[in-house]
């Protein structure tokens, strides 16, 4: 029996159709908060589940993107996407991780055309505004949102979703989880500020200059392929963001007092 589910991340609904009931169950479990029924999908994917061994299991990720065709290949999946038809075909083994990776890559490519990006950052909403916390692994992204008080809504502990809209930059929740293996909430809010995390003996907050903010962004924006046109768009996206969103260095000791200064 053919089943379709629609996963909407960043207000971009993506329809996933397959005959494999086990895969549908995996998708529903992993993306539960992001499943929608009424939205008109922006992209359609047909998924065929293949046995391990059909694909080259050792293959590293390879992404090629031209104007009208994207191709994603990895040991556990193979994807072709016709961007003008907004239709794609996925061959993958039965596991919950392939579609997670495929959606990250697809959204990265979608966002790169409109000045947005996925960022290695946790993010959360407080008082109707979104705060982003970026840094390398171990900087405290997951720890910080784990310490958030009850009035804070966690958008993600791992991968933040940033869109540029008519009303400025907006952060959306994502199901892309880090160490906590916990999906964010499917809500959004205008971005108030960006914090570059580091662990320090005392809590501190210092304004970062635009160049430092761009550096922090460029080190943490996700991209899976790079050509001169895409690198220009990415750098533009980071610079445009840094020009309007205030950025801070946030040093913190891992306890909840750090949230006193984030509001």
Partner 1 sequence: MSDLFIARGERLAARKVAGEMVILSADDSSLFVLNAVGASIWEAADGGTPLETIVDDIICRQYEIDRDTALRDTIEFVKALEAQGVMRTSNGAMVEGGDASSSGEEVR
The answer to whether 249 touches 166, Cβ cutoff 8 Å, is no
The residues in 168-187 that bind partner 1, with binding defined as CB under 8 A, are: none
Does residue number 147 form part of the binding site for partner 1 (CB under 8 A)? no
58 to each of 71, 75, 77, 169, how far by Cα in Å? 17, 5, 11, 39
By the rule CB under 8 A, 113 interacts with partner 1 = no
Task: Select from 101-109, 193-201, 225-233, 245-253 the region that touches partner 1 (CB under 8 A).
Answer: 225-233
Options 27, 139, 222, 242; binder of partner 1; rule CB under 8 A = 242
Q: Of the listed pieces 52-60, 61-69, 178-186, 235-243, which binds partner 1 according to CB under 8 A?
A: 235-243
Q: How far apart, in Å, are the Cα atoms of 211 and each of 114, 116, 207, 216, 217? A: 22, 18, 12, 9, 10
- Assess 230 for contact with partner 1 (CB under 8 A): yes
C-alpha dihedral sign at 158, 42, 80, 228:
negative
In whole angstroms, the minimum distance from the beta carbon of 244 to partner 1 comes to: 10
Least Å distance, CB 56 to partner 1, is 24
The verdict on 209 binding partner 1 (CB under 8 A) reads: yes
129: contact with partner 1 by CB under 8 A: no
DSSP classification of residue 39: S
Cβ atoms < 10 Å from Cβ of 128: 9
Query: Minimum distance between the CB of residue 238 and partner 1, rounded to whole angstroms?
Result: 8
Q: Using an 8 Å Cβ cutoff, are 163 and 116 in contact?
A: yes
- Nearest approach, Cβ of residue 62 and partner 1 (Å): 15
Q: Which residues sit at the interface with partner 1, rule CB under 8 A?
A: 209-211, 214-215, 218-219, 223, 226-228, 230-232, 234-236, 239-240, 242-243
């Amino acid at each position: 029996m053919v089943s379709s589910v629609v996963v909407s991340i960043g207000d971009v609904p993506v329809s996933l159709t397959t005959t494999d009931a086990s895969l549908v169950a995996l998708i529903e479990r992993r993306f539960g908060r992001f499943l929608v029924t009424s939205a008109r999908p922006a992209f359609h994917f047909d998924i065929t589940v293949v046995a391990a061994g059909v694909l080259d299991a050792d293959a590293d990720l390879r992404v090629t993107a031209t104007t009208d065709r994207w191709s994603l290949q990895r040991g556990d999946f193979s994807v072709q996407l016709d961007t003008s038809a907004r239709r794609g075909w996925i061959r993958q083994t039965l596991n919950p991780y392939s579609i997670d990776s495929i959606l990250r890559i697809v959204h990265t490519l979608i966002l790169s055309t409109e000045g947005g990006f996925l960022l290695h950052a946790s993010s959360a909403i407080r008082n109707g505004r979104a705060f982003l916390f970026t840094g390398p692994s171990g900087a405290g992204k997951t720890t910080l949102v784990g310490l958030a008080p009850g009035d804070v809504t966690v958008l993600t502990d791992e991968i933040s979703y940033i869109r540029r809209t008519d009303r400025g930059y907006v952060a959306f929740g994502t199901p892309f989880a880090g160490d906590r293996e916990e999906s964010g909430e499917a809500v959004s809010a205008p971005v108030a500020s960006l914090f570059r995390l580091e662990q320090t003996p005392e809590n501190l907050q210092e304004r970062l200059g635009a160049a430092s903010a761009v550096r922090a962004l460029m080190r943490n924006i996700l991209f899976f392929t790079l050509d001169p046109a895409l690198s220009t768009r990415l750098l533009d996206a980071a610079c445009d963001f840094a020009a309007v969103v205030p950025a801070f260095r946030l040093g913190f000791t891992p306890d909840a007092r750090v949230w006193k200064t984030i509001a």
